[in-house]
A = this chain, B = another copy of it.
Amino acid sequence: MADVSIEDIRAAQERLAGRVRRTPLLTDELLDARHGAQLYFKCENLQPVGAFKVRGATNAVFALSDGELRAGVVTHSSGNHGAAVARAARLRGVGARIVMPEDTSAAKIEAVRAYGGQIVPCAPTLAAREAEAARLVAETGAAFIHPYDDPRVIAGQGTVALELLEDLPQLDCILCPVGGGGLTSGIAVAVKALRPQVRVIAVEPAAADDACRGFHAAPGTAATAPVPAVPAIAPVPAAGDVPAPRTTVADGLRATVSERTLGLMRRYVDDVVTVSEEGIVSAMRVLWKHLRTIVEASSSVPYAALLEQRLQLAGQRVAIVITGGNVDLDRLPWSRN
């Protein structure tokens, strides 16, 4: 299992300069008063493609040599990672094939096309996605970029923490949502290398709590559970006590942690807690109202832990990562449509 080091994350930061945005922090004095804490929201929803995924995808693409890229890149994704890989490949001047299930929403297909990605449709099963991506790699020699089970991707996501530590010298705690674990493990590696007293807490929907179970499992527990039936993105060899994800409104967090990401989380993350579906929707609405920024359901999960009082953070300086802002504006979770 390849590890990820702070040097990898620093190298990623140099690679990303000028290619992704250094995202702003938002604050709201009314939310601070409500929670008795200083909350800093790191707005990865304001990245190109609207998600932190540009960091990992761009780092992975630009870490490859010209030779490795001669046939372009391939990934499979029904979400933000596909658009992020398409964009990174275009910046690098190579082609990107994005394997997408035939039932992917028009908006997600449009996002990949907007960045010049070539869409390769496949049957709407995980097996079909993986097979199609593997076939493309074998036939063309293109480079495969996994959404999270890739050290270059994890290092790219970890650059979020470098910016937080630079911008907030008095930080006490970082909250982030966990899906496949690429962001969480990258952040945790950076924080524990540079300022280990800062706590890193991952928050997950109770309805998709594989990371929480894996994190709190007895040491040495290995991957034994069956792979989930229809995850949002491809599972890699799973680790820990991994249940089949049930439905969560936080569709970006349905992925399952990998052995690599869970291993990093177990070493470097301070805690993993879960929140309810109702809490996620309430949090999303509060954030829209108070921050006036478009936060997708997955990104509302960490703040839901404050709303549901799952964490005691009074008096602390807390950074909360808003991971993305891609929302179907015709189907907001609080509307009756």
Contact = CB atoms under 8 A, between A and B. Distances in A.
B334 A336 contact: no
Nearest to A28: B48
B325 A330 contact: no
* Total copies of the chain: 2
- Max chain B Cβ within 10 angstroms of own Cβ: one of A28, A30, A285: A30
Nearest to A29: B48
A312 interface: no
Contact of A50 (B50, B292, B325, B334): B292
A45 B289 CA distance: 11
Interface residues of A, number: 26
B289 A329 contact: yes
Given A29-B48, A329-B334, A292 B292 contact: no
Contact of A329 (B28, B114, B285): B285
A335 interface: yes
Contacts of A26: 46
Contacts of A291: 46
A141 interface: no
A68 B201 CA distance: 50
A96 to B, nearest CB: 16
Interface in A44-62: 45-46, 48, 50
A114 B30 contact: yes
A91 to B, nearest CB: 10
B332 A329 contact: yes
B288 A329 contact: yes
Interface string A287-322: 011011110000000000000000000000000000
A335 B337 contact: yes
A24 interface: yes
Given A29-B48, A292-B326, 6 more contacts: A24-B24, A45-B292, A293-B293, A329-B334, A335-B335, A337-B337
